[in-house]
Structure 1
Amino acid sequence: MADPSTYRPRPGEIPDSPGVYRFRDDHRRVIYVGKAKSLRQRLSSYFQDLTGLHPRTASMVTTAASVEWTVVSTEVEALQLEYSWIKEYDPRFNVKYRDDKSYPSLAVTMNEEFPRAQVMRGPKRKGVRYFGPYAHAWAIRETVDLLLRVFPVRTCSAGVFKRARDVGRPCLLGYIDKCSAPCTGRVTAEEHRALAEEFCDFMAGRTGAYLRRLEQQMREASEAMEYERAGRLRDDIEALRRALEKNAVVLADATDADLIALAEDELEAAVQIFHVRGGRVRGQRGWVTDRVEHVTTADLVESALQQLYGEERGESVPREVLVPALPEPPEPLAEWLGERRGARVSLRVPQRGDKRDLMVTVQRNAQQALALHKTKRASDLTTRSRALEEITEALALDSAPLRIECFDVSHLQGEDVVASMVVFEDGLARKSEYRRFQIKGFSGQDDIRAMHEVVSRRFRRYLREREKTGEWAVEEPEEDTPTSPRTEDGRPRRFAYPPQLVVVDGGQPQVAAARRAMDELGIDDVAVCGLAKRLEEVWLPGEDDPVILPRSSEGLYLLQRVRDEAHRFAIRYQRGKRSQSIRRGPLDAVPGLGETRKKALLKHFGSVKRLRTATVEEICEVPGVGRRTAETVVAALAGARSAPAVNTATGEILED
């Protein structure tokens, strides 16, 4: 591990101009490439105190052994050079996009004498018209199969075409009128090229005029009593409309745009792109990237755009690129995209209208992709085993923590203080073992004291159940299954098993509180750690420095997932309690008046205002309300006449 001060440039050496810089390790391998509007300001930020740097940045500067830079004239030149060097060196500390599959496109080989429609992958070829990319090759084949009825262009390979030309007999598609059979001379090369041009025009979005022309021809054939021809045209129109349904119109105008959305957490980000051509979604692609350094959404957008358009030219770069956040400043990136296209490119964040609505759809797909990726990752037995091994090694545990419990405290400005306990066994959530706690008697701002109480209550109940005293906790599980451990009378044993590891949501103070609670109860065989949100640091009891797990560590990913699940469960419980107290009306203060009779009173009188003017005798007419209760209601409403109803959570006056 190198000391950054050993290779820090001397003052005045770094120019105050745009440029690209490279960090190299002691083997002269490039480990990080970055660009800057001011090289002096950017590089100086790397050589501050290591405790002030993000853990991944600190790891990078201590891995590096030297830094060098290249000065350029503009930020656009810096962006171009940064992309070229990232592609050339593949630095380990740069954001890496796992886009390891090539997405298929519908290609029409207009550079051939007899153009062919086919599924094509890989780099773009000169003279070939591309439509897409699509997520699946079968989606292209289904669309082409529908369009061949109207545009019977060639789809066969060169070998099949040559063989049919030699024997003078077309293939099956020629016999069923899904190919114009240029191989046998049924149409000339010029006629077939015109057919391919119409096919390309239709795929490019110029569909309205062609459909109207077919409908006019169908009407003319019907009026001329050419019913068979009219029927064929009708079927052709239906086939084209079905093909359009597969590429549904999402924008009112003939827009060419790419919409990019991101779903991210501290460790990973999912990228989703919708390719809109001619106002229709022509293709979709996406990938998941590891966030190997601390980057913002705007930084991820910039890297994704470089990934998408770094090797694209011409019309492959659309007129509009819609993103969730703009890099600062956005002009160099927009200028770079314009150079790739050869014309101006609009780079912006959609604010309203159809494009904003479509961006919401893209965002939803990104969230689903990230959730699916996490689910697959969590269900992988090998990955879970590696995660448990990494946690065991990092925390110096005697054995793998097969049962992990995590605690989190939640409140709203000190009100409705609750806590949650979630359980993971073998790296998977065990929801039947989840618990929730209601904390009373002190302000919720004291999270340390709340954490001490929750951990104490959990392990006191464990000791009681171990001694079989028959005392039970009042908290209800999120779900109770027949396989849950039970006592002789059939009730679930809710705190029967101790964990190997307790995780708390927080840093050193929360960890100390949890450890103190267990020490007071004599629990010395359960490990404790805390996961702090800000830098994802792992804290251990009595340690002044945290344990830093690599950002790509499966062990950190598992701890983060446990922590996030505890936070979710606590927030869910806290919001439920808050909704119960969100409206406190005058009837809530009437002693002995339950929900059923409150609803009956409001249904009978229509409002609290009318109920206030009612007499005892009128209230007694309500089913289920006796005279004593009616007198209590009248007295309570009379006393509450001058006191408005208040939302206890926010202090808002609800009724005068």
Structure 2
Amino acid sequence: MNQLLKLQLENLPSQPGIYQFFNAAGKLLYVGKAKILKNRVRSYFQSNSQLTPSKQEMVEQIHHLKTTVVDNADEALLFESALIKQHQPPYNIIFKDDKNWLYLMIDYKDDFPKVELTRRRGQKNVKWFGPYTSASAIRQTFHLLKKILGLKTCLNPPDKPCFGSTIGRCLGHNLGPGAKNIYLAHIKQLEQFLKGNSQLVKEKLQAEMTTAAQTKRFEQAARLRDSLKLLDRILTKQKIISTTKESFDVINLASQNNLSAINILPIKQGVLLEGDQILIEHDKKLTPTDILTDFIERYYPQVTDKPKKIFVPVKLPGVGFKIDVPQRGYKRQLLKLSQANAANYLSNSLASWQKQTNRAKTGLDELTKILRLKTLPLRIEGYDISNIQGQHAVGAMVVLTKGLIDKSQYRKFIIKKVNGPNDVAMLAEVLARRFKRRHQGWPKPDLIMLDGGKPQLNTIMRIFKKKKIGIPLVALAKKEELLFSPNQKAAIHLPANSPGLLLLEQLRDEAHRFGITFYRARHRQTVKND
């Protein structure tokens, strides 16, 4: 161990934060998070540390380290994920689709708690469930539970009824006697459902359907019957596998080259619930022990209802959870089922990924030729400005990496200097701020796509020339779908099925979606504050 590293280990902070390990050449080897940085980082260098072989290999390469103190565990989690996706260190695994994970939030700050799906945790007086790795599945379940339980999902206070309350879909605005207790009882039923106990919700539906039929409210009875059928379809994915009412998770994986699929089978009170499947990217040399160790250490701190025990196919030394390897019985069979699910998910993901990769490569080759670029545009950035008459104006940056959407690189900008409706000036502000960040770890793009025609291109070209930014530009005009390039005087017309044009159209549409979503969120927050 060199003197610099010894000195750094002696002066580590005791707060939560992020640590980064570098080799002698300055290459980032690994990124991790810790509740107490001093304890976690020093543990790698202790003689009795239980490290996997690849982690031991990593420790031997560490020349120096860097720590960043943060306020809390949630902030550390977000920072760690961003750094790993940006730098892709060889000893980390990379979650391929964690941007789509959702949490269900119950906000207890109000007398009538609001319930919603969200992607970020962090608020106080809030109860969290998740993460749910299948956004479509939890959205379908949540939509049904809203109708069954009359959940409040709006921002309105209790004395200002929303539309849902006027049609009997929301109970969060009923100010009659006992209304609050009734609503809180529904919230408790929701919590029980999310913890795996669905019987209360099902019994409530059946009772209401029977009452509606007996009182000859046949239309309402029919709606309740349809809701019950949909709930049954959701619940058929659950299976009783034990009469002991145990709760635990079973995890297995399937790997091919630098990709692995991990399958999680959650068992709650002896019932096998629908599993989660997660695709991760990693260095080829990492073993199943390495992959599962890193996965459990990064995934489970996000889980709100943590299992008491996790069953895995191999021993995992040094993991801060109760881990076991079943040798026989139904838990061993569950492990085999989990592996089969992981293998099937990996096979399907690889086929889809290969198809996307081939299409992206064809599109990048065509753009390189058509736009007369010197190199393949492996990183293409697209921008969008969203506002109404200059109000609440925002900018959005989206990225294609190797021709594929890369949400980890998306960025948002609040317009600060431009007043009034001037989209070109706003775009110029966003680009100027973006390129101030090029020395702060933001990768340099190989191509920038502008939403517009020749006027927008000429304006940004002048700004780039003045600021000496030598990055290729292309503009995509909306109506005619024509391309404008500084390298060619005439507009470029590509057929509608052109792979290169389809890539740019995808980038433009994604920039608009991302930008308008940010604008709406900011507008709602402003209205709420007013």
Which structure's relative contact order is higher, taking Cα pairs within 8 Å and 6+ residues apart?
Answer: 2
Task: Tell me the TM-score normalised to structure 1 length.
Answer: 0.40
Task: Tell me the TM-score normalised to structure 2 length.
Answer: 0.48
Q: Which structure's CA Rg is the greater one?
A: 1
